[in-house]
């Protein structure tokens, strides 16, 4: 039973990070109906950037702030150069353009890592696991979970109680109606991409501390796609629930099934879970059903 709880709790803690990356995806999707395939690369480049800044001798806090500033600056560029020209194009062109953006960012990272060979981030989080009544838990996971809760709280607050949040809910309901009452979609796009960039930065820091700042970060963030689909593409609550669900479930499956089948189930189990849920609920757990007419 102790084994079960250790797997479960650690899974949930990982799940908060999935939920965090999923939050970035859901925000972008709600505002622009684009599924951002560059999110993984954004996580990678943000984490790497902070790692390099620290490596160059800039204090950790300043490095994080600087990193966030660059990610927000990037969101302006993305809105202006990539998204605006592609308004009202088919889904697949939008998928491809974010994939292109991802390749671009990964290229930048590969190039930069040839100049500054940095693979770890050290922002002063202790590495030794904490013993919690027999369970071993990494401090970085706890900090990640706390950050996730803070960011989710902040997003929820913005969505429910501010004018920007109202505008975001409006455009996710109906683009044209929102435009007609004077909501500026261009401004909101910059905001959501900036938010997604900041979220990617946090995720990059936490994951980068846990593992290393390398290509695997970008792949790990791919699992967040399973999370958003599972929760529903346009649901913030879905992102949280599905994130925790995927985190816990994959850890439990890996813990119990891996020894029998020889490992590797973690790589695809989230997608399998997603498939099963989609079979019952085609728009994810909390996604809004799209009603179509001819």
Q: Which residues lie near another protein (CB under 8 A)?
A: 35, 81-82, 85-86, 89-93, 95-97, 99-114, 219, 222, 225-226, 229, 233, 261-262, 264-265, 267-268, 271-272, 274-275, 278-279, 282-284, 292-294
Rounded to a whole number of angstroms, the minimum distance from the CB of residue 21 to another protein is: 14
Judged by beta carbon, residue 123 or residue 239, the one nearer another protein is 239
Q: How far is the CB of 258 from another protein (least distance, A)?
A: 11
Q: At closest approach, how far in Å is the CB of 109 from another protein?
A: 8
First and final C-alpha spacing in the chain: 54
Q: How far is the CB of 26 from another protein (least distance, A)?
A: 12
CA–CA distance, 86 with 101 (Å, rounded to integer): 13
Closest approach of another protein to the CB of residue 110, in Å: 3
Whichever of 137 and 257 has its CB closer to another protein, that residue is: 257
Instruction: Write down the least CB distance from residue 198 to another protein, Å.
Output: 22
Q: Please state, as a whole number, how many other Cβ atoms lie within 10 Å of the Cβ of residue 91.
A: 10
Q: Which helix (H) or strand (E) holds 275?
A: helix 269-280
What single-letter DSSP state applies at residue 214? S
Please identify, using beta-carbon distances, which residue of 147 and 189 lies nearer to another protein. 189
Here the tokens at position 151 are 């960011």
* Smallest gap from residue 48 Cβ to another protein (A): 12
Identify the residue whose tokens are 């629930």. Answer: 241
- Cβ proximity to another protein: between 153 and 282 the closer is 282
CA–CA distance, 74 with 77 (Å, rounded to integer): 5
Nearer to another protein, 15 or 270 (CB): 270
Residue 243 tokens read as 């994130």
**Between 140 and 239, CB nearer to another protein:** 239
Identify the three-state secondary structure at position 211.
Answer: coil
Query: What span, in angstroms and rounded, lies between the C-alpha atoms of 21 and 195?
Result: 11
Cβ-based nearer residue to another protein, 44 or 240: 44
- CB–CB of 149/16 below 8 Å? yes
E strand or H helix at 192, and its extent?
A: helix 185-210
The CA distance from 269 to 223, in Å, is: 10
**Distance between CA atoms of 169 and 174, rounded to whole angstroms?**
9
């Amino acid at each position: 039973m102790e084994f079960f709880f250790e797997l479960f709790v650690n899974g949930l803690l990982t799940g908060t990070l999935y939920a965090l990356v999923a939050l970035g995806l859901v925000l972008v999707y709600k505002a622009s109906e684009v599924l951002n395939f560059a999110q993984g690369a954004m996580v990678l480049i943000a984490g790497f950037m902070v790692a390099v800044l620290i490596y160059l001798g800039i204090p950790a806090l300043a490095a994080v702030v600087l990193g966030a500033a660059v990610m927000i600056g990037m969101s302006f560029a993305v809105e202006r150069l990539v998204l605006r020209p592609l308004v009202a194009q088919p889904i697949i062109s939008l998928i491809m353009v974010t994939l292109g953006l991802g390749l671009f960012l990964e290229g930048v990272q590969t190039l930069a890592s040839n100049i500054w060979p940095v693979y770890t981030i050290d922002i002063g989080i202790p590495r030794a696991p904490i013993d919690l009544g027999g369970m071993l838990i990494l401090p970085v996971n706890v900090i990640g979970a706390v950050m996730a809760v803070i960011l989710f709280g902040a997003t929820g607050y913005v969505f429910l109680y501010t004018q920007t949040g109202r505008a975001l809910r409006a455009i996710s309901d109906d683009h044209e109606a929102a435009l007609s009452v004077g909501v500026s979609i261009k401004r909101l796009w910059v905001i959501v991409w900036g938010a997604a960039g900041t979220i990617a930065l946090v995720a990059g820091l936490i994951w980068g501390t846990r593992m290393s700042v390398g290509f695997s970060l970008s792949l790990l963030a791919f699992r967040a796609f399973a999370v958003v689909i599972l929760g529903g593409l346009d649901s913030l609550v879905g992102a949280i629930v599905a994130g925790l669900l995927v985190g816990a479930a994959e850890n439990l499956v890996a813990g119990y099934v891996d020894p029998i089948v020889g490992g590797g189930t973690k790589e695809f189990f989230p997608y399998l879970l997603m498939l099963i849920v989609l079979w019952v609920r085609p728009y994810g757990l909390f996604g809004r059903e799209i009603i179509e007419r001819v």
